[in-house]
Structure formats: C-alpha cells, structure tokens
Amino acid sequence: MKTKNLLCLAVICLLVGCSSSDPASITDGASQQQIDDYNALIEAEAKSVSESPELKRNE
C-alpha cells in the first residue's frame, strides 16, 4: 500500500511539474543592469563570507 501511494505521488508530481513546455528562467524580463547588480551582490557576499573570522577560526 505504501509503495502504491509513493508511486501515485511520483506520477502526480511529474505531471504537475512537467506540465509547461516553455523553458523558464529567473532572468526573463530582467535588464542587464539588474543582472550585473545581482552578480555583484553575490560576489560581495562570497568575499564577506570568505573573510569571516569564524571561518578562519575553524581552519
């Protein structure tokens, strides 16, 4: 019974998750400036984390 329920759940997830044939992207509709700002934010956060005193203490 449990296997049958899991199989039904998997089939439903596949049908619902794969219902759209159009590819999607989180950058659709974003300007190049917004993408550049986002990338700069990610780089700044990565630098901040890599320079964290807590991280250096654990090494």
DSSP 1-59: -HHHHHHHHHHHHHHHHT---S---TTTT--HHHHHHHHHHHHHHHHHHHT-HHHHHH-
Name which residue leads in pLDDT, 5 or 34: 34
Name which residue leads in pLDDT, 11 or 38: 38
Asked if residue 12 has pLDDT above 80, the reply is no
Which pLDDT score is estimated for 41? 95
Which pLDDT score is estimated for 6? 80
The predicted model scores a pTM of 0.48
